Amino acid sequence: MNALVSPRKATPHHARELTETLAWLRLCAVSGQALTVAVVAFAFRLPIPLLPLAGGIAALAAFGAFAFWRLRQPWPVSAAEAFGHIAVDIGVLAFLLYCSGGVTNPFVSLLVMPIALAAAALPRRHVMAVALLASAAYLALIPWHLPLPSLPSAAGGNFNLHVVGMAINFGVIAAVLAFFISRLARALREREAQIQREHERALRDEGILAIATQAAGTAHELNTPLSTIRTLLGELRRERTDGALAGDLDLLIGQADRCRDILRELVAIGRRQLAGTPRKMPLAEFVRDCESHFHLLRPEVELRTSMGEGAEVRIIEAEPNLRHAVINLLSNAADASLAAGSSVIELGVVAGRRVAEVFVRDHGKGSSIAPGTGTAFQTSKQHGLGLGLALAHATAERLGGDLSAEALADGGWLQRLRVPLSAADNRGL
């Protein structure tokens, strides 16, 4: 999978960013052109072709309104469409320059701006087409244009007017380069970073899928030897009634039954997942269910649970793997606390109108890997696999929630798992 975009190709997102930038630039151009024409015609009282200039500006304003309407539509913007917008801008600018002195107009260098904008977002062939179009417009304006009328010599002549126009033109180009192109480049960088994150997330999900497939096959293969072990343990327990050995056999039988229940639960979770039917239960009951399962796994850890207002009455549509995500967070917190000499972790829940927030706090010393930031199979534990955190992240994202972590001043981490209460709201928080 190649999620990185080649610099010679443009994605629809790049073309849309360019089209949005052009729309705002076009709005600024209409305002600036109207102001310039008004100053030259009424302040300097020069006999310029006012009606054609006003018509060209009005046409550009109408196209600008169409561009803003187009950007509100859901269909994507292609590179060819973005080139069409640039072509219209070049055509209108060339017409306005034709009516106002052609290449002798100090604003003729504005023909360079479409090339710079296209080079930031469009494919090479479209950039070359924009460059050829702008160059053709410039060359055509050399022989064909309406000359600018001359100012009276007492007013300074055309040279002073040309110098003022060049100064204004320089300021316009500097402002565009400093603001709009940097804005466009920043948007493109953010898009590339998002694509990179999606690429990393896809790789992680592929790894999780491979592990899940292997786990399903392993669970199927374990069923037969586990049943044999359970049967033999039962027979040994009936034959051995002495105290010490009987106690050990009872413990082994209990562990075998626990393994069998886990396998059955795994199959049941898979069936519910395929059926797409989450369990509906009060949020407080879901938390107590997570608590009881965690006590079976880690009886040496003291889990302190707190319920926020509304947890007893708010209903959550709990996906089968949501409980596993919470237990994975609790297990990571338990390892961090135990490594720091503490056996205490905390579990809390707050019920919002549409979102449930589960808090897990440890009393560890912290680590180089923040527990809410890992998306790959990363771990700071010597014998850890890095699966628990990756699975919790994947579950939160699939349900439309998120997982974050905050380093506490007195040591340890506070992890926040936010998920929608209703499965119908899992399109994003």
pLDDT tens column, 9-64: 445 667 888 888 889 889 988 988 898 888 888 877 878 888 999 999 999 999 99
CB 273 within 8 A of CB 322: no
Q: Rg of the Cα trace of the chain?
A: 34
Among 57, 4, 10, residue whose Cα is nearest residue 184: 10
Among 404, 400, 403, residue whose Cα is nearest residue 428: 400
CB 222 within 8 A of CB 263: yes
Among 230, 407, 412, 215, residue whose Cα is nearest residue 324: 215
* pLDDT over 80 at 99, yes or no: yes
CA quadruple 53, 58, 63, 68: dihedral, nearest 10: 130
Residues 6+ apart with CB under 8 A from 157: 150, 151
Report the Cα 122 to chain-centroid distance in Å: 22
Residues 6+ apart with CB under 8 A from 207: 376, 377, 390
Taking the alpha carbons at both ends of the chain, their separation in whole angstroms is 28
Q: What is the mean pLDDT of the chain?
A: 77
CB 344 within 8 A of CB 399: no
User: Considering the entire predicted model, what is its pTM?
Assistant: 0.49
Among 32, 182, 50, 30, residue whose Cα is nearest residue 117: 182
Residue 118 has a CB neighbour count (10 Å cut-off) of: 26
pLDDT tens column, 233-276: 777 777 776 666 777 777 788 787 777 777 777 666 666 555 55
Token representation of residue 31 = 């305002």
Among 259, 386, 246, 272, residue whose Cα is nearest residue 328: 386
